[in-house]
Amino acid sequence: MNVHHLEQGIRQQMPMAQVPGLAIAVIEQGDIAYLKGFGVRSTASQEPVSEHTVFQMASLSKPLFAYAVLQLVESGLLALDTPLSYYLPRSYLTHDARIDQITARHVLSHSAGFPNWRPGRDHSKGHFDDVPLPIESPPGSRFSYSGEGFWYLQHVVEQLTGQDLDTVMQARVFTPLALRTSSYVWQAAFENTLADGHDTNGREMDRDRPTVANAAYSLHSSVTDYARFVRAFLSQPDDLLAEIGTAQVPVGEQEGLSWGLGWGIQHHDYHEKTLWHWGANPGYRNFMVIHPTRRTAVLILTNSDHGLEICDPIVQAALNISTSQPAFQWILPKDQWRADGTTPNESTDAH
């Protein structure tokens, strides 16, 4: 990695794309090799981004949750291929018997058949299970990116452990890995450390302070904390990493893309397989790519709706490659938000 070339590119691209703040981590051979913040947390305050600045992680919440789920699988508390309804005292859906076919494997690979989110839900209330949820395709039949699936699996995890999600994550992931600035619910300390989101017009957005954890998108964390998680993820046994990176379902008609257990999988022109994920909450765009065999990874967090526009060249510079990440051919055409930041399409994560 040429640090000067990487930093020069970041500083050039951020103002061109109207990205106020960015944090990046590079992991090489399983160790955190580079951490740095660029730009500002807020265009109003002009406070700088550091490696400890907190961002909304958006759908990067999902891989961290998947990590905890696979711990439960390893411990025998949960089975990947047992219908999730087996673990609940009553059916999650009463109007569709296919709910009894959906497993943790389906949820982690986005093949449960759910939409991303049910129509008409109200995030401000946290819980929205009284709103009808359709199953749009037979479980296991096709890829359909779904936060709803993770919300369903969260219910199962909470039932099995007898704890709310954030307590589960604190005990099983955050504390063991020394993730000191991470939480799926709002913490008072975030008031002074958060990078505020900015919409497509560069306007600073109101803060979202979640009081109910949502495994799909509510994680707040720093680039330092998330890099520590990725380091731990890469230290897992080769056979487990291979299982996580085994394609469960193709991603539509997009050549070279599939989904594994909690991660997207992409095959490059030079035949390397990498894991990836992205995040898109209003005012935030993030991207993560991992080379499991090299034990190398790049994590980029931004506080702008334009953040994904500059992630691909930054990844190339960080990895010293000249080829685009195939994932962006699928993500970018779907990453459309209204100027007011209120109406996502089916590809986005939260609100």
What number does CATH give the domain 3-334?
Answer: 3.40.710.10
**Taking a C-beta distance cutoff of 8 angstroms, is the pair 150, 84 a contact?**
no
Question: What is the pLDDT at residue 123?
Answer: 53
Cα angle vertex 193, ends 310, 311, to 5°? 10
**Domain spans of the chain, in order of start:** 3-334
Q: How far apart are CA 351 and CA 341, in angstroms?
A: 9
The answer for residues whose C-beta is within 8 angstroms of residue 118's C-beta and 6 or more apart is 128, 131, 132, 133, 134, 148
Q: What is the pTM of this model?
A: 0.93
Two structure tokens written together for 252: 């539509």
* Other beta carbons within 10 Å of 126: 13
Cβ proximity of 83 and 103 under 8 Å:
yes
Angle at 166 between CA 196 and CA 139, to 5 degrees: 95
Going residue by residue through the chain (351 aa), what tens digit of pLDDT does each one get?
Answer: 899 999 999 999 999 999 999 999 999 999 999 999 999 999 999 999 999 999 999 999 999 999 999 999 999 999 999 999 999 999 898 889 999 999 999 999 999 999 999 887 665 555 556 678 999 999 999 999 999 999 999 999 999 999 999 999 999 999 999 999 999 999 999 999 999 999 999 999 999 999 999 999 999 999 999 999 999 999 999 999 999 999 999 997 778 899 999 999 998 765 678 999 999 999 999 999 999 999 999 999 999 999 999 999 999 999 998 888 899 989 998 886 433 333 343 444 554
pLDDT at 335: 83
Q: Which residues pair with 194 in a beta bridge?
A: 54
Cα separation, 308 vs 312, in Å, equals 8
3-state secondary structure of 247: coil
Query: What's the pLDDT at 127?
Result: 55
What local confidence, expressed as pLDDT, does residue 126 receive? 54
- SS3 of 147, please? helix
As given in the structure block, the two tokens for residue 133 are 């949820």
What does residue 264 show for φ and ψ, rounded to 5 degrees? -75, 155
Tokens of 292: 């499991």
pLDDT, residue 100, reads 96
pLDDT score recorded for residue 336: 61
Is 68:173 a contact under the CB 8 Å cutoff?
Answer: yes
Identify whether the C-beta of residue 198 lies closer than 8 Å to the C-beta of residue 207: no
Q: Give the three-state DSSP class for 265.
A: strand
